């Protein structure tokens, strides 16, 4: 019986991830206001491309614990991000952000705003660096109950536990400090509009039990 349980657990962990993007359409994505995506974002050569001025887009489904991998690249000077556990906290629509930014962009690409960090809360490991603007990067986010781990190009960039002393201290120093429950609820995956071109592909998510 024990062997069967172990085998079952192994099969569960080996389950194929669910694509969040079919490579052809924006099915499964809407604006934050739950309207169809009609401007700014396009499907181009198997990518989701923020081409012109747009609005943030989100998944139609909420997620709690998950393992998400995705590839991305940005144009020079671009600031963008992928948010998760996005939703209403008090009067604000906010979420935890995996920062994506051209590290050659002056003034807003290091420290707590560095690629692979938890935006405005925790800086990424300085030894883990992205490829230059215009080149593809591979990122991964694992949210296992309260534990958050970010990876960049196969290396761990951040690890933190929501509600831990480190988290509480970081939250208290961030722009989200007025939301004590920030990031703690299941929410949507969001692709950020921040004024520059960005491309996403191979967004694959496995929900964790």
Q: What is the pLDDT of residues 166-180, one digit of tens each?
A: 999 999 999 999 999
Per-residue pLDDT at 87: 97
Per-residue pLDDT at 131: 94
Cβ-contact 54, 41 below 8 angstroms: yes
Q: Is 41 helix (H, G, I), strand (E, B) or coil?
A: strand
Sign of the dihedral through C-alpha 162, 179, 190, 152: negative
Report the pLDDT averaged over residues 39-65: 97
Per-residue pLDDT at 105: 60
Whole-number Cα distances in Å, 67 to 140, 144, 174, 190, 194: 7, 8, 25, 15, 25
Q: What percent of the chain has pLDDT above 90? A: 86
In this predicted structure, the answer to whether residue 144 has a pLDDT above a threshold of 80 is: yes
What is the number of helices (H) and of strands (E) in the chain?
2, 13
Per-residue pLDDT at 110: 79
In this predicted structure, the answer to whether residue 119 has a pLDDT above a threshold of 90 is: yes
Report the pLDDT averaged over residues 43-57: 96
| Confidence tier at 8 by pLDDT (50, 70, 90) | very low
How far the first Cα of the chain sits from its last, in Å, is 21
Rg (alpha carbons) of the chain, rounded to whole number: 17
Q: Which of 45-49, 129-133, 168-172, 185-189 has the lowest mean pLDDT?
A: 129-133
Tokens for 183, please give them. 């990031």
Per-residue pLDDT at 186: 98
Cβ-contact 45, 51 below 8 angstroms: no
Per-residue pLDDT at 10: 43
Per-residue pLDDT at 106: 55
Q: DSSP label at 113? A: G
Per-residue pLDDT at 104: 78
Helices in 21-97 by DSSP H: which ranges?
none
pTM over cut 0.85: yes
Cβ-contact 24, 43 below 8 angstroms: yes
């Amino acid at each position: 019986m024990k062997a069967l349980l172990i085998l079952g657990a192994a099969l569960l962990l080996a389950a194929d991830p669910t694509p969040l993007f079919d490579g052809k359409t924006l099915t499964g994505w809407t604006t934050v206001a739950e309207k169809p995506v009609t401007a700014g974002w396009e499907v181009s050569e198997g990518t989701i491309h923020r081409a012109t001025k747009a609005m943030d887009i989100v998944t139609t489904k909420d997620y709690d614990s998950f393992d998400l991998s995705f590839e991305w690249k940005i144009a020079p000077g671009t600031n963008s991000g992928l948010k998760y556990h996005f939703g209403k906290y008090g009067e604000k629509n906010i979420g935890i952000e995996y920062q994506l930014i051209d590290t050659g962009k002056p003034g807003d690409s290091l420290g707590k705003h560095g690629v692979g960090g938890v935006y405005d809360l925790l800086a990424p490991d300085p030894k883990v660096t992205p490829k230059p603007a215009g080149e593809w990067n591979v990122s991964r986010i694992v949210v296992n109950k309260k534990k958050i781990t970010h990876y960049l190009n196969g290396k761990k960039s951040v690890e933190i536990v929501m509600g831990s002393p480190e988290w509480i201290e970081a939250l208290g120093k961030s722009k989200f400090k007025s939301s004590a429950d920030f990031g703690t609820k299941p929410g949507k995956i969001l692709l950020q509009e921040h004024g520059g071109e960005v491309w996403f592909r191979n967004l694959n998510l496995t929900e964790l039990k």
